[in-house]
Structure 1
């Protein structure tokens, strides 16, 4: 019997969620120079205009994702991460679908993201491409960066 993925808003106070955010940040070290890593820590994820969700399977955190409001019509996907023990279980797809639905409910018409370019990000690239994201230029405060891949889609 396959376990159900439960996605819920997360206030980032729980040890499990904070641990996954820390793991996410640590895993990015070495994938690009520090100035090319744009992941947010727990404090930054708590800023106004950012909503975080965590995905749970049984009593274990399986992943996280955040939506940052760029403006009334555009949102940015931040901090998408699936725990290593849950890769291939549909957690990334469930989180991405949840963020897209939330953005639509808020009246947004497009989503944007920045991700890395190394092989470490291949699964993320496949997920985003399969969900209709395509490459674009740097956006909203980012600068062109050979270590970053920028993507967007209308919703």
Structure 2
């Protein structure tokens, strides 16, 4: 396998994208009680007109991430997932940077996200903190939940 990581826009008509988003959905559903699980099914991302980015090594899909608009100039990161076999290679960092660049280029001035409090989510929380995200109160339709961490940053 080569060591070249490329990140580009993706669509839900790509079978490997849908499959990885399905893996993400199943992992999130198995890791949190239903009332605390805010993962979106791939079809729901399409309904929300999400912008998807994917990281690949050649033709091999390594990770995905999505951006939805939740208000004027306010975006939310959704469905950030790195394939287990690709973790530790900077995949999530590269996707996050691509999503932040896309958001800036399209007039988004604030990005927010919801992630979990369990140890499973510690790498995600560390990644977001390292990129300027800080904890915040619930935003949008979210409510206080002891199993959720809400983070935001200006762009």
Both proteins in one fold, TM over 0.5: yes
Q: Which SS does the other structure have where 1:114 is aligned?
A: strand
Q: Which SS does the other structure have where 1:68 is aligned?
A: strand
Q: Is the 8 A contact 2:77 2:112 kept in 1?
A: yes
CA drift at 1:48: 4.2
Q: Displaced runs of 4+ in structure 1, greater than 2 A?
A: none
Q: Which SS does the other structure have where 2:22 is aligned?
A: helix
Which 5+ residue runs of structure 2 have no aligned equivalent? Answer: none
TM-score by length of 2: 0.95
Q: Is the 8 A contact 1:110 1:153 kept in 2?
A: yes
CA drift at 1:38: 0.6
Q: Is the 8 A contact 2:55 2:91 kept in 1?
A: yes
Aligned to 1:148: 148
TM-score by length of 1: 0.95
Could you give the per-residue CA deviations for residues 42-84 of structure 1, whole angstroms, max 9, x where no partner exists? 1101124311111111111000000001123110000000001
- Between the aligned partners of 1:31 and 1:118, the Cα distance in structure 2 is 9
Aligned to 1:87: 87
- Between the aligned partners of 1:49 and 1:71, the Cα distance in structure 2 is 13
Aligned to 2:134: 134
Question: CA RMSD, aligned part only?
Answer: 1.4
Aligned residues: 155
- Between the aligned partners of 1:49 and 1:26, the Cα distance in structure 2 is 22
User: Residues 30 and 154 of structure 1: is their aligned pair in 2 closer, same or farther, counting only changes over 3 Å?
Assistant: same
Which 5+ residue runs of structure 1 have no aligned equivalent? Answer: none
Q: Which SS does the other structure have where 1:76 is aligned?
A: strand
Q: Which SS does the other structure have where 1:62 is aligned?
A: strand
Aligned to 1:50: 50
